[in-house]
Amino acid sequence: MAVDRDTVRRIAALARIRVPEADLDKLAGELGNIIGWVEQLAAVNTENIAPMASVAHMTLRQRADRVTDGGIRDKILANAPEAEDGFFTVPKVVE
C-alpha cells in the first residue's frame, strides 16, 4: 500500500504530532515499508499454529491460593490514627 504526503499529514493530525513539511516524504516511505511488512505477515499461513504468548516453553511458579490475614493485624493497626475491635476507624461521611 502506498502512503502519500496527504495520508501522513492526516495521520499526524489525528495523532496530534507536529510533522515538518520537509519530513512528510521520508515518513511516507517509512510508513509504506511498515505496511508492507504487515501485509507480508498477513500472508503467512497460521492455520494449524496454536496461539502463544512466548516462543519459549515455560510455566510460572504458582503459590497456593490461600486467604490469610497476614498474621500481623496488630502491627498494621498500630499505624492507624484510630482503631476499634481490630478494624480501622474512619469518620462517618453523610451527604
In whole angstroms, what is the distance from residue 20 CA to residue 15 CA? 14
Cell readout for 66 is 490461600
In a domain, 22, yes or no: yes
- The domain total for the chain is 1
What is the pLDDT, as a whole number, of residue 59? 82
Residue 27 in any domain: the answer is yes
64 within a domain of the structure (yes/no): no
Percent of the chain surpassing pLDDT 90: 39
Is residue 59, in this structure, part of any structural domain at all? Answer: no
Asked if residue 55 is part of any domain, the answer here is no
At residue 36, φ and ψ (nearest 5 deg) are: -60, -45
Is the pTM higher than 0.75? The answer reads no
Per-residue pLDDT, 40: 93
pLDDT at 69 over 80: no
Confidence of residue 39 (pLDDT cuts 50, 70, 90): very high
